[in-house]
Amino acid sequence: MSIVKRVVGRLAHRGWAYLRDAAALSPGSTGGYRFRRLGEGACVSFPLGAIFGEAWIEIGDHTLIGERVSISAGMGPGVDLGPGSIVRIGRACSIGRGSHIVGHQSIDIGDDVFTGPYVYITDQNHVYDDPEKPIGRQWPRNNPVSIGSGSWLGTGAIILPGTRIGRQSVVAAGAVVRGEFPDHSVIAGVPAKIVRRHSPERGWHSPLLPVEPVSLPDPRTAPGVSAAGTGTA
């Protein structure tokens, strides 16, 4: 490689790094003020995805939103969605690049939630009640979503309307999740189900396996007990 190419390449990389840093959204940047809340130390990385409805989006302190992440509240820009927030992302979260968070009623993401890239979270879906009407023209239905603090969502996971995931849970890569899941669950599959759980008594275990029966000694044959069980031997 010629000296000129090396110099141009170095300048291009430095210029791109400077542009990414300068164009990222932070609490002090012009774009940061459009959010309902963009917490201290939070950052929305550049290049940005599709972001609108910022007045109904809250992002907690020290949360990192990756490159090309789309976050939206409502059907489109310029719509009044009422006094409350729609999308709430907690503190110290990390949302992987290329992910989509699409809120219309309520999406709650707790603190310390990490996701892989290309995760999709939405609280709205199309309906197909009328078999004669195009599905895209039928009015969609909303159902709130919540993801408990400390959880991890693997690459390409899809979180559908009405899903409630408990604290410290894992969603496997590529899982399609709908329903309610308790704390300390490992959720996988299409459709997703619990494949592991944690309890104080059993630790991490598969809920699909039967519980091992506990063998207790027969008191009739214990030392010092007669065969009739009414006195000493």
Whole-number pLDDT of residue 231: 45
Cα-based distances in Å from 147 to 122, 191, 218: 12, 17, 48
Looking at the DSSP bridge assignments, the partners of residue 118 are: none
Residues with active-site annotation:
126
CA 104 from chain center: how many Å?
16
Helix (H) or strand (E) holding 3: helix 3-23
Looking at the DSSP bridge assignments, the partners of residue 57 are: 87
State percent of the chain over pLDDT 90: 67
Computed on alpha carbons and rounded to an integer, the radius of gyration of the chain in Å comes to: 26
User: Tell me: the pLDDT tens digits for 45-76?
Assistant: 999 999 999 999 999 999 999 999 999 999 88
CA-to-CA distance for 73 and 28, rounded, in angstroms? 22
User: Tell me: the pLDDT tens digits for 94-112?
Assistant: 999 999 999 999 999 999 9
CA-CA-CA-CA dihedral for 207, 209, 210, 215, to nearest 10: -110
- pTM here? 0.84
Structure tokens given for 198 = 């944690």
Q: How many residues does the chain have?
A: 233
CA-to-CA distance for 19 and 42, rounded, in angstroms? 18
Using the predicted structure, report yes or no on whether residue 192 has a pLDDT greater than 80.
yes
pLDDT band at 215 (very low <50, low <70, confident <90, very high): low
Residue 191: asked if its preceding bond is cis (omega within 30°), the reply is: yes
Residue by residue, DSSP assigns 4-40 as HHHHHHHHHHHHHHHHHHHHSB-TTSTGGGGSSEE-T
Whole-number pLDDT of residue 103: 96
